[in-house]
Homo-oligomer: A and B are copies of this chain.
Amino acid sequence: MMLPALSDIQSAHIRINPFIHRTPILTSRQLNLIYGCELFFKCENFQKVGAFKFRGATNAVLSLDDTRRKRGVVTHSSGNHAAALALAAGMNGIKAYIVMPENAPSVKKDAVAGYGADITFCKPTLQAREETCKSIMDSKGATLIHPYDNFNVICGQGTAALELLEERDDLEFIVAPVGGGGLMSGTSTCVKGINPDIRVIGAEPLNANDAWKSFTTGILTPSVNPLTIADGLLTSLSELTFSIIRKNVDDILTVSEESIINSMKLIWERMKIIIEPSSATVLAVVGENPALFRGKKVGLIISGGNVDLKRLPWC
Whether A3 sits at the interface, judged by CB under 8 Å, is no
A281 within 8 A of B: no
Contacts of A273 in B (CB 8 A): 272-274
* Nearest CB in chain B: distance from A102 CB, A: 22
A107 part of interface (Cβ distance < 8 Å):
yes
Contact with A107, one of B45, B107, B269, B310 (Cβ below 8 angstroms): B269
A45 to B26, CA, bound (A): 14
Q: Is the CB–CB distance between B309 and A46 below 8 Å?
A: no
A312 within 8 A of B: yes
Q: Which residue of B lies closest to A110 (CB)?
A: B269
> What's the minimum C-beta distance from A45 to chain B, rounded to whole angstroms?
5
Which size class do A's interface residues fall under?
10 to 19
- Across the interface, name the chain B residue whose C-beta is closest to A311: B315
Partner of A46, one of B45, B272, B305: B272
Q: Which residue from B45, B265, B275 sits with its C-beta under 8 Å from A309? A: B265
Instruction: Report Cα–Cα, A268/B305, bound state, in Å.
Output: 10
Decide yes or no whether A50 CB sits under 8 A from chain B. yes
Q: What is the CA–CA distance of A218 and B123 in the complex, to the nearest angstrom?
A: 64
Q: Give the Cβ gap from A67 to chain B, nearest Cβ, in Å.
A: 32
Q: A310-B315, A312-B312, A315-B312 are in contact. Are A305 and B265 (CB under 8 A)?
A: no
Complex interface residues of chain A between 3 and 49 (CB less than 8 A to chain B) = 24, 45-46
Interface string of A55-79 (1 = CB under 8 A from B): 0000000000000000000000000
- Residue pair B274, A268 in contact (C-beta under 8 Å): yes
Q: Which residues of B contact A24 (CB under 8 A)?
A: 24
Complexed CA–CA distance, A312 and B310 (Å): 9
Residues of B within 8 A of A46 (CB): 272
CB–CB A314/B309 < 8 A: yes
With CB as the reference atom, state the residue of chain B lying closest to A24. B24
Give the residues in chain B near A45, CB-CB below 8 Å: 272
Within 265-296 of A, Cβ neighbours of B (below 8 Å) are at 265, 268-269, 272-275
> A312 to chain B: which residues have CB within 8 Å?
309, 312, 315
Closest B-chain residue to A48, C-beta based?
B29
Of A265, A275, A305, chain B has the most CB atoms within 10 Å of the CB of A305
State how many angstroms separate the Cβ of A23 from the closest Cβ of chain B. 10
Q: Which residues of B contact A268 (CB under 8 A)?
A: 274, 309
- Distance, CA A265 to CA B309, complexed state (A): 8
> Which listed residue, B272, B274, B309, B314, touches A310 by the CB 8 Å rule?
B314
Interchain CA distance A294-B84 in the complex, whole Å: 30
Beyond A269-B309, A273-B274, 14 additional pairs, beta carbon < 8 A:
A24-B24, A45-B272, A46-B272, A107-B269, A268-B274, A272-B273, A272-B305, A273-B273, A274-B274, A309-B312, A309-B314, A309-B315, A310-B314, A312-B315
